[in-house]
Every structure is written in structure tokens, then in C-alpha cells.
Amino acid sequence: MSKIATATKRLLVGRPFRSDRLSHTLLPKRIALPIFASDALSSVAYAPEEIFLTLSVAGLSAYAYAPWIGVAVAVVMLVVVASYRQNVHAYPSGGGDYEVASTNLGGKFGLTVASALLVDYVLTVAVSTSSGVANIGSAIPFVAEHKVLCAVLIVVILTSMNLRGVRESGKTFAIPTYGFIIGILCMVAWGLFEALRGTPIRAESAGFQLHEETSLAGFAFFFLILRSFSSGAAALTGVEAISNGVPAFRKPKSKNAATTLLMMGVLAVTMLIGIITLAILTDVKFAEDPATQLAGAPAGYQQKTIVAQIAHAVFQNFSPAFYYISFVTGIILLLAANTAFNGFPVLASILAQDRYLPRQLHTRGDRLTFSNGILFLAAFALVLIFAFHAEVTKLIQLYIVGVFVSFTVSQAGMLRHWHRLLAHETEPGARRRMRRSQTVNAIGLTMTGTVLVIVLITKFLLGAWIAIAAMVAIYLLMTAIRRHYDRVAEELSALDGSAPTVLPSRNHAIVLVSKLHLPTLRAVAYAKAMRPDVLEAVTVNVDDAETRQLTAEWEAKGFKVPLKVIESPYREITRPVLDYVKRVRGDNPRDVVTVLIPEYVVGHWWEQLLHNQSALRLKGRLLFQPGVMVTSVPWQLESSAKALRRAARARPAAGDVRRGFFTDGAHRAGAGKDGGR
Amino acid sequence: MSKIATATKRLLVGRPFRSDRLSHTLLPKRIALPIFASDALSSVAYAPEEIFLTLSVAGLSAYAYAPWIGVAVAVVMLVVVASYRQNVHAYPSGGGDYEVASTNLGGKFGLTVASALLVDYVLTVAVSTSSGVANIGSAIPFVAEHKVLCAVLIVVILTSMNLRGVRESGKTFAIPTYGFIIGILCMVAWGLFEALRGTPIRAESAGFQLHEETSLAGFAFFFLILRSFSSGAAALTGVEAISNGVPAFRKPKSKNAATTLLMMGVLAVTMLIGIITLAILTDVKFAEDPATQLAGAPAGYQQKTIVAQIAHAVFQNFSPAFYYISFVTGIILLLAANTAFNGFPVLASILAQDRYLPRQLHTRGDRLTFSNGILFLAAFALVLIFAFHAEVTKLIQLYIVGVFVSFTVSQAGMLRHWHRLLAHETEPGARRRMRRSQTVNAIGLTMTGTVLVIVLITKFLLGAWIAIAAMVAIYLLMTAIRRHYDRVAEELSALDGSAPTVLPSRNHAIVLVSKLHLPTLRAVAYAKAMRPDVLEAVTVNVDDAETRQLTAEWEAKGFKVPLKVIESPYREITRPVLDYVKRVRGDNPRDVVTVLIPEYVVGHWWEQLLHNQSALRLKGRLLFQPGVMVTSVPWQLESSAKALRRAARARPAAGDVRRGFFTDGAHRAGAGKDGGR
């Protein structure tokens, strides 16, 4: 797998490069589009469906509104794209909405956006996977019959891939994404052509009747239209992705990013409208509960996704095309799910930098911590999939809130941004440009704000509240973490010019000795080199015989260093040493005690179980004693060489590509060096 | 709980003592008996039952042999006790069978005994718990109907108690053990008295008929008798316990231990014979499968344990006595199960000393490692309980092998022991005593050896093979561990007078700096005090802004120490530092690099997640580099004080009492000291 990835990388960005040629590894637009847009584009696979599905409640008559809703969504989409082009120019650092919000509106808003995005990552996984399964299921009945199972399997696979550190490579995205775009566009084109030629293209569900449970009228009906619209707004999810990925673009970064964003917007809108049109033309019936809502359906009718039904209708006597559409749709949806796994670390590292998340998330290669993040993501996504039986429709209700919260807040932020700039800008040309941008963002704000309100009103009880609750929880957690860091920072910056700056008056070095072997000798030799004021070796007598032998050997060796024996009636190690060290140091705050602990460095985890346990425990406890320094004097056992090689075999981390990191080559170089030793 | 324990201790061994008054805390015989003998005594609760149960196959006629089998078991018991009195005198160190075997017959035999004992500990838990449940079940139908559930619950409770470190206290053992002894003896006495008075005492099962499936004859019958005998031999389990506990006795240790052993033997035999006699007198019918084997039993007849049936018969119109017997029997059996949890650490620490188990098990207070041991014990016991539905009869089949393996081997060892002594002893009186002891052990050997063979023959297919397989597995594991330690020891003792003895030629100290705060200042100050040949501060540039700020502050502070900035294009920390350190050290094996890492010491695990992660990872990797020393310069955050207090609140470790450790007081003293800081 990673072999392929490497091959691809060579193909795309030339031979393995050195860290100093980082810029060479950046993404051309043709690759950036699939990598960042797969999420947004894939959402046109379920957005139209949701529109029809919601309308179906009000019966067939309501379907007439579908096109207008589609247009409304398209307009919002284009406005949002236009606004984000401003963001991309103004904030090329990849901070995205979070940065815009926090710099212009302050941390609280930034954190709100962050919480929203984190929740969205979880939902992206859940929704995309479920929809992907639904689409593949349209081609393979088995999958349709075991939706939840398949969805779970897919999440598990994605998780393990990202845990192992499979790198997003341009190709793995490019092929299915372009495959999807081309597929859908061809389908739309061919479908329209057929329609114009007057060929009757009818979906399999064309013949069914649609019960209208309750003939809605007046406000209720209007409400339904709004709800249908906010379901359709799901098409906008993932639009912001590019604004987080600017640094990965080739220069001129902002310009390229903006262009890519536009391409994406146009493509999305075209496909969306196209699909809705065909749905109308092919007379698709789509209901939330086919069994009860659709009359005339054959017994045990498995409702296919709208895309699948259209494909079926358009390519009626050419099934390969139908399968192609179903699969490519399924796959791009899974890619979309995977983007969440890669987007998370990026956002996490930015949040970590601002100390809202554990600091180490900011630096790369902390596989452990990222892994925890990935596992969280997967776990919550699985919970949702189980809870809502991998039903896209149910999950959608939670999805859109987060997206539009961040849209709205970031647009508000942009308004402020331009406002600030205009305050100092005098050059008329520049001012004009700024005014224009500001207007765009203003429109964006009103638009997204309205949608957000609509979404909240129409979906709150249907599940949006869950998403909101989650956001609040995350928000509180992150503020708590930040508060902790601040408290500590304050505690640590108390530079009252006291203790730490002045040199310790006396350094009393203690070498812990259990046996007289090479590690001990090394420790003693090293301790001497430290030229402490006092140097002594200390051993704990847990076994008289052994101790006697040790002291004898010690004498024989004729060290200049005295060996002191601490009694331990209860065969303990930690406590006697602690007590001794405390005694030695006395209460003079300016004295330090240096405890040197010879350690074996081993190659396997199970060896770790057999060695150093007492040492580790002791070290842990010693660190609690003021004025005590602990030095590990390592002795590399032969087996450790293996581990060194293992460690050198570094793997890529999730989200690398999005941050413009292509680290394989660099690591391999490093590995070579290590291996050499 | 531990409060009570302390109170008890004060009661028994006076006020909290200092470590230098250890001997004062040793056990008087009256307390030692219940602590060490509960296992052995409790086994008389199920041994007679097993005799009758096995015989029941051959029908009522076979019951006639029960008394003789009982006598045979009693004889073996007394012989074994006599032999172990020799062990106790010859090996007062508490090494028990393991020590006897390894010193006289060599490590292989020692290890065999050890494996046998370890397996036995698991079985002790399983059998005692199951039998305990059966006895309590005789009084409370609910328990009888949910045997497995109850047994599992009990094991779980015992485990958590021992994990938390509840100390065996004299009282907790004394009360139920003496309660049991007195109860059974009274029952026997009263029963016999009634019988002599001619009062008809009949068990509830007296009236039932016993089908004899197959009228066994000749060899088959003889075989059955043998099997019944080896089931009865279960009464001997736990006899060796005292020989492991000699150090915990008051002086003269050996003599007191020997006396206690004798008392135990006599008590056990009396109760065993007594119960068998009453079983015959009360005409008890006991079958493995009452439903099919017992005719005349009421529908849904719940077969009570023999002890319970006898109690019922003897105290017919006085039910409190019946309940008393049932409960006290149940409780002593649970105590017996608990002894396994306390016996394990003792054996483990001895095995660890000989490097057959992880070294740290030898020292006390490694709660973690012991906990793992306790969990293993519990896990395997639970597996057995599930696998055999908490059926004593089924479990017994696995039990006795291990016991008799260690009996036999240790007796063989004793023979050798005396043989060796006799070689050098000239004084006739002493020689005579030795000869006597030797004879005793010789008889012991033949006896236990024979029983072992009988057990193997009669039980191998019934389950003994499982126990044997387990022993082999453990044996192999322990030899593997030993081999590893030996290999390492060899690798480390290669004192070719090379590298480690000579002083490092140059010491290049590197202080890792992330921010300019107190921990950094302390680290720098300390580094200066080490007077290295070169001293520099190093920071990794993962964030340009922060780095710029840091360098500026550094200049401002006007340290004499230069601050070097390492670039990290991929926002890594570990690798760049590693590479730098490697470069600095160069290839001169006599140079050392000291890396000083400022560390925060925090009080809660979750704080640990927020700090030091990068530092820890880096440290781990640095240790793999030859010639690199890593020094942690701790900075205690305020919260760390809490943890210090927590840690000081030390708890007793399982098996303390058996090793003559009563550490509460000592710990409290220590805690006081810590708390003071």
C-alpha cells in the first residue's frame, strides 16, 4: 500500500526530495481538487434525495417544488463559494474558519467554530459511509440488506488504515473523484439528450403512487418546504475544506486555492441541478418509508438511491454504466468519509497550538495521540451509525447545523476583517476591492445565517439538538484544557528571580547499584565525569546474600567511590531510596541530589516487562522530590538495535497531504542514517 | 476494612511498631494455625463427599469401603504431616517444597514443584469457591440454583479485595476457622453421643435407593476403590502451606511451625474420620447425578452437601446449628480460596529471586506486577469455574495431581538432604536423629509417590491431564524467562575492561528548551553546575513565531549559554533532536552527550496527558543512542503535592502476613514524613 503511495508520489512530485526542497512537494490544482473537494462533491449524491424524500410526505404535488429548492441550494452554494474565495485570499495560512473567527471575533467564537467542525468530522464519517453503503447497495442487494454491518466494516477499515498511517496520495483521490464527476456529468448529458430526443426514460419507481398521509396546507406546507430546503443544504458540507488546505497548494497558493474552490462550486451546482432535473424527468418516487408511502411497489421492494435509479433509467439497456455510477458514487463517498480522518489532525494541531487541545497534537509524529483522536472519531461515528441504523436521512438531521454554524461565524469574522482593514487602508483601488469583498461576505453572512436559522427551526427536534449538545460539551472540554494550561503557564512564569536561576550550591551524586555489571560501571564513570561535590554508590539490601557478594566485588574492584548499603526490612526499593535521598538533601533548597540510574535499553515490549520496572517506578517517585535530578544512564542491549531499526521505519501521519507534508522521503533518508549505525 | 485490620493488629501484636522491631510482629501459634491451616482444614469439607460420590457408582454395597478409604487417607495425611515436620526443621527459610527440591535435586525439580504449586493455586481458588458455594447453597436454595453465578461473584470479590490490598489479619482467619473446627467437632461429638444413646439420626437422603448402574467386579471395582481413595486424598491439599510460612512464626520458628503442623494434622484427621463415620451412621446417600442415581428422591430434589446433611440429621430439631455449620463451612472454604491469592505472591517472589519470573516480583510493593499475577490467578480460576460449572467433583479431578507432585518431589529432596548431611555428620546422637528423620521422609516419599501414581492412573483421563499440560506450559515459560535473564547477565558481565570503566573524555550538555520558564531556568542552572565541557541550549522550531519570541527572550535574559535553533520543516520534535544529538556526539565512543529535559511533575493522570508527552517520547528514543545520557530536571507543579500524599498512603500487599511483613505501621510512619513536606 505505502509502496503504491510512494510510487504515486514519485509520479506526482518527482523523486524523494530532501526536507530543504519541501515546496516541490506541493499540490497542483488538478490534484488539489480531488483531495479537498471529494467531500463537497460527494454530498450531491445524497442532497437531492433528501429534498425529494422530505417533500414526499406532502405527496406528489410537492415534488413540483423540488427544482426550485434545488435552485435555492445552488444559489446558497455559489454565494458560499464566493465568500470562501475571500477567506482563502485573506487567510492563506490554512487556519480556515477557526482562524478567521478567532482573529476577528475572539477566542470564544473561534472555539465555537472548532467545536462545530469537530462534531462535523464525526458526522461526515457517519453520513458519507451510510450514503456510500446505500449507493453500493443499489447495485449489490446483499449490501443493501446488511447496511449497518457494511457501514461498520467500512469505518473499521478506514480507521485501521489511518491508524497504520496510510498516506492520502493524489492518485487514490484523483481517479475516483474524476471518475465520479465524469460519470455524473455524462449521465446528466445523456439523460437530457435522450429526453430531448423524446425517448421515454422512466425510473423503476416511476409507476408507483405516492400516498400523501396528510394533505398539508398553509404554514405546515411552507414549513415542509423549508425543511426540504435545509436537507438539500447538505450539499454544502465540505465546501470549507479547501480553506483549511491553502498551504498545500502550489504558488500562488491563494489564487490557486480560490480557483479550485470555484471549479468545485460550479461542478457541484451543475451535478446537483442535473440530478434533480433528471429525477423529475424520470419521474422518480422516493420516500422515507417505501413500504407504507409507495403504492404499486412490488413486495419486498428495495428502494434504490435516486442516483442509482436515474442511472438505471438513463442507461437502461447498458447495465455496466449503471454499475459504474453506483460504484464510483459509493467510492467517492467513502473517500469523503476518509477526509474526516485526515482533516481531524490538521484542525487538532491548530487547536493544540492555541492550547485548547493537548500540546503534543501540535507537533507531528505523535502517532499515539493522533491515534487516540482517530479512535474517538471512529467510535463516535460508529455510535451514530448504530443509533440511526446507517440511515442517511436520520443522520442528515444532525449534520447541517455544524456546517452552517461555522459558515455563519466565519462570514461574520470576515466582515470584521475587512472593516478593520478599511480603517487603515487609504489607497482607493484597494479600498474598492475591500468593499467588494466585504459585500460578498455580507451577502454570505445573511445567506448562511438565514439557512442556519431555518435549519435550527426545521431540524432541532429531529436531531439537531444532539449535534448542538455535542458541540457544547466539546466547547467546555476545550476551555477547561486551555484554563489548565494557562494556570500552569502562570505558575511557571513566576520569575521572581528566586531559586532556579542561582546555581545549586552543592551537587550530591548517587549512583544506584543493583549488580556490578557494565551498566553500573558506565554509570559510575559518567557520574565521575559530572564532577559532583559528593559521589557515592548506593544499593538497597533486599537480599543479604546478594548484597554481601556485591559489596565484596565492589571492594575488589577498588573504586574510589564508596558503596553505601540501605537496609530494607520489607524488601522494598522505592521507599528506602526516597527516604535516603530526602535525608541526604536535607532542607537546603540550594543543594541538589543527582540520582543516576543505570538502565537497560531493550528491543521488545516483553523485555521491558523483565527489566527496569523497579527503576521506572523509582524514577517516577523521585521526580516528586524537590531538588532531585534523575539521570538515566542507558546501556543498549543487543536486542535494542532491532527496535532502533523498527522506530526508524517511520510512517506518514494522517492529514500530512493537507498540510503540504510529504514526509516519506525525508523519513527514509533518516531511516537510512539510523540503519547505518 | 483496613481500619479493622489495623485495630486487629494492635490487638494481636501491640501498637504500631518501627521497622527495627519487625520480630515483634510475628505470629503466635494460635493465629498461625488459622492463617496457614484454613486451606488444609477446609478440604475435609469436600473430601469425604468425594469418597462417597465415587463409590456411589458401584451402588450401596461399595459404601462399606468408605471408612477404610477414610482411614487410608488419614494415614497418608499423618505420614505427610510427619514428613513435613522434618522439612520445617530442615528449611526454616520459608522456601517450602520449591527450596527443598531445588537445593537437593537441582533447578529442574525445583521448577517442576513451582509449576505444580502455581497450578494448584488456581485450582484452590476454583475448588474452594465451588465447594463453599455448594455448602452455603445447602442452606440457601437460591445459591444452590445459581452456583456458577455465585462462585464467579465470590472470585470477583476476592480478587478486588486483594487488588486493593486488604491485609490478611489474624482475626479474620481465627474466628471462622475456629468456628469451623469447633462446629464440626461438636457436631461429630453430639452425633456419636446421640447414636450411642440409640436416638435414630437419619439424613434426608437416608431413605433413597442407590441404583448401581453396573455391578462392578474384580479389577474394575478395585479401580473404583482406588479412584475413590485418590478423591479422598483431596483432604491433603494445603498441608504444605505451613512449610512456606515458617518465617512468619514466633521464635523458635521451626518448633512452633512443626507443632502447628501437628495440631493441624490431628484436627484434620479427626474431622475427616468423624464426618465419614456420621455419614455412615446417618445413612447418607450421595451421588454425582442424583436425578438418575437416586431412587425415591422427591421431584426437583436439591442434593445437599454431606456436611449439611449430617448437620441436618444431627441437629434435627435445632435448625440454627444446621445453618451455623453450613455457613461456617462455606466461609472457611472462601478463606481457603483467599489463601491462594496470598500464597501466590510469596512463591512468585521466591521464583523471581531465582529469575524464573520477572525480577521485580522479588521486591515488595510492586503493586502493578503482583496485581497482574492476582488477575491471572482469578482469570484462570474463572475459566475453570465456567468450564466445569462450579462442580467440585469435576474440578477435584485436576486438583490432586499438583499437590502430590510437589509432595513427592520434596520428600525425595529431603532424602537427599539427610543423605548429604549424614556424609559429614559424625556425632552419633545427631546421626541417629538424622537417620530417624530420613526414615520418616523415606516413608513419606513411598507413600506420596504411590498416591501420585494412583491419582495419575485413576484420574488422568478425567481431567488430570489438563493440570499436567498447564504445569508443562508454566515450566517452559519460566525456563524461557530464566534463559533471557542469563543471556542478558552474560551480555552485561563482559568485563573486558573496555569502554565503561574509563572516564568519558568530553561531556557535551544540551538543555532542551521549549519555553523560557522556571523549569528551563532550573535546567540551565543545574546543567552549569555539572560543569560540562560544552553547554548549549537547544530548541526545535516547530512554530516560527514562538521560536522568534523565545530567542528574543533568551537574548534579553543574557544567559552565558548559547541557544541553538534546530529547524523542523515537518513540525517534528523527536527526529530533529535525535539527528542533532547524533551529529554532536560524532563517532568518538569516549564522548558523552547529556541531554537535560525539563519536566513538569503533575498530580493527576489527566494532567500527564497534557504535559511531558513529547519529552517522554523523546527520552525513550534518546536512550537508544549510544553515549547519550538523559537527565530529567523535574519541576513540581502545585498539583504534584497531592499525588505525593496519595502515594504515601501505602497499602498492604497480598501475602505480607505469610512473610512476616506487617508494614502498615512502617508505612504510616513514612507517610507522616512525606505528608510533612
Does the distance separating the beta carbons of A504 and B526 come in below 8 Å?
A: yes
Tens-place pLDDT, residues B526-539: 888 888 888 999 99
Quote the pLDDT of residue A538: 92
In 3D space, the residue among B142, B134, B54, B181 whose CA is nearest the CA of residue B305 turns out to be B134
Q: Look at residue B665 and tell me whether its pLDDT is greater than 50.
A: no
Quote the pLDDT of residue B465: 92
In 3D space, the residue among B152, B146, B648 whose CA is nearest the CA of residue B387 turns out to be B152
How many Å lie between the alpha carbon of B674 and the closest alpha carbon of chain A?
9
Contacts of B22 in chain A (CB under 8 A): 569
Maximal CA-CA distance, chain A: 106
Size of interface A-B (CB pairs under 8 A): 241
Tens-place pLDDT, residues B11-70: 333 333 233 333 346 788 888 888 888 888 999 999 999 999 888 888 778 888 899 999
Quote the pLDDT of residue B18: 32
Helix boundaries (H) for A287-427:
290-293, 306-314, 319-353, 367-387, 392-424
Q: How many CB atoms lie within 10 A of CB A489?
A: 12
Predicted confidence band of residue A263 (pLDDT cuts 50, 70, 90) = very high
Q: Check if B435 contacts A (Cβ < 8 Å).
A: no
CA distance A207 to A215: 21
Q: Look at residue B283 and tell me whether its pLDDT is greater than 90.
A: no
Angle ∠(A251,A255,A261) on CA atoms, nearest 5: 120
More confident position, A437 or B216: A437
CA distance B380 to B78: 32
Contact A538, A563 (CB under 8 A): yes
**3-class DSSP state for residue A540?**
strand
Q: Look at residue A94 and tell me whether its pLDDT is greater than 80.
A: no
DSSP B208-243: -EE--SS---HHHHHHHHHHHHHHHGGGGTTTTHHH
Residues 21-60 of A with CB under 8 A from B: 22
Helix boundaries (H) for B388-513:
392-424, 428-459, 465-492
Instruction: Indicate the residue type of B133.
Output: V
Average pLDDT rounded to a whole number, residues B311-336: 88
Q: Look at residue B111 and tell me whether its pLDDT is greater than 80.
A: yes
Pairing of strands B628-636, A628-636: antiparallel
Residue B298: asked if its preceding bond is cis (omega within 30°), the reply is no
Q: What's the grid cell of residue B381?
A: 480460576
The one-character DSSP state at A26 is P
Contact B601, B532 (CB under 8 A): no
Which residues lie across from A294 on neighbouring strands? A210
Contact B279, B66 (CB under 8 A): yes
CA distance A444 to A415: 10
Contact A166, A5 (CB under 8 A): yes
Q: Look at residue A58 and tell me whether its pLDDT is greater than 90.
A: no
Tens-place pLDDT, residues A386-419: 999 988 888 988 988 999 999 999 999 999 999 9
More confident position, B657 or B48: B48
Q: Which of B631, B639, B667 to probe the A interface (max A CBs under 10 A)?
A: B631
Residues 5-24 of A with CB under 8 A from B: 19-20, 22
Contact A126, A385 (CB under 8 A): yes
Q: What's the grid cell of residue A440?
A: 460578498
Predicted confidence band of residue A495 (pLDDT cuts 50, 70, 90) = low
DSSP A410-465: HHHHHHHHHHHHHHH---HHHHHHHHHHHHHHHHHHHHHHHHHHHHHHHHIIIIIH
Q: Which of A510, A572, A621, A677 to probe the B interface (max B CBs under 10 A)?
A: A572
CA distance A383 to A379: 6
Predicted confidence band of residue B415 (pLDDT cuts 50, 70, 90) = very high
Quote the pLDDT of residue A642: 75
B362 closest CB neighbour out of A499, A542, A634: A542
Tens-place pLDDT, residues A595-611: 999 888 887 777 777 77
Q: What percent of chain A has pLDDT over 70?
A: 87
How many Å lie between the alpha carbon of A375 and the closest alpha carbon of chain B?
16
* CB within 8 Å of A184: residues ≥ 6 apart: A44, A271, A274, A275, A307, A325, A329
CA distance B362 to B349: 4
Quote the pLDDT of residue A648: 63
CA distance B6 to B167: 9
Q: Check if A175 contacts B (Cβ < 8 Å).
A: no
Which residues lie across from B593 on neighbouring strands? B508, B628
Instruction: Indicate the residue type of A479.
Output: T
Predicted confidence band of residue B1 (pLDDT cuts 50, 70, 90) = very low
Tens-place pLDDT, residues A95-108: 788 989 999 998 89
Please state the pTM of the whole predicted model. 0.70
CA distance A270 to B219: 93
Predicted confidence band of residue A160 (pLDDT cuts 50, 70, 90) = confident
Residue B252: asked if its preceding bond is cis (omega within 30°), the reply is yes
Does the distance separating the beta carbons of A489 and B517 come in below 8 Å?
A: yes
Element (H, E) at A195: helix A170-196
Predicted confidence band of residue A116 (pLDDT cuts 50, 70, 90) = very high
Closest A-chain CA to B541: A363
Quote the pLDDT of residue B634: 87
Instruction: Indicate the residue type of B595.
Output: V
The one-character DSSP state at B205 is T
Contact A323, A307 (CB under 8 A): no
Contacts of B248 in chain A (CB under 8 A): none
pLDDT, chain B, mean: 82
CA distance B596 to B599: 9
In 3D space, the residue among A66, A120, A81, A440 whose CA is nearest the CA of residue A236 turns out to be A81
B492 closest CB neighbour out of A518, A629, A663: A518
Angle ∠(A331,A337,A343) on CA atoms, nearest 5: 135
CA distance B421 to A358: 67
Quote the pLDDT of residue B507: 87
Q: What's the grid cell of residue B77?
A: 495425611
Tens-place pLDDT, residues A265-292: 999 999 999 999 999 888 888 888 777 7
Closest B-chain CA to A530: B530
Cell 549512583 identifies what position? A511
Q: How many CB atoms lie within 10 A of CB A641?
A: 16
Instruction: Indicate whether this complex's ipTM tops 0.90.
Output: no
Does the distance separating the beta carbons of A531 and B673 come in below 8 Å?
A: no
How many Å lie between the alpha carbon of B315 and the closest alpha carbon of chain A?
49
Which residues lie across from A592 on neighbouring strands? A507
How far from each other are the two terminal CA atoms of chain B, in whole angstroms? 28
Quote the pLDDT of residue B10: 38
Q: Look at residue A673 and tell me whether its pLDDT is greater than 60.
A: no
Contacts of A497 in chain B (CB under 8 A): none
Closest A-chain CA to B650: A575
Does the distance separating the beta carbons of A543 and B362 come in below 8 Å?
A: yes
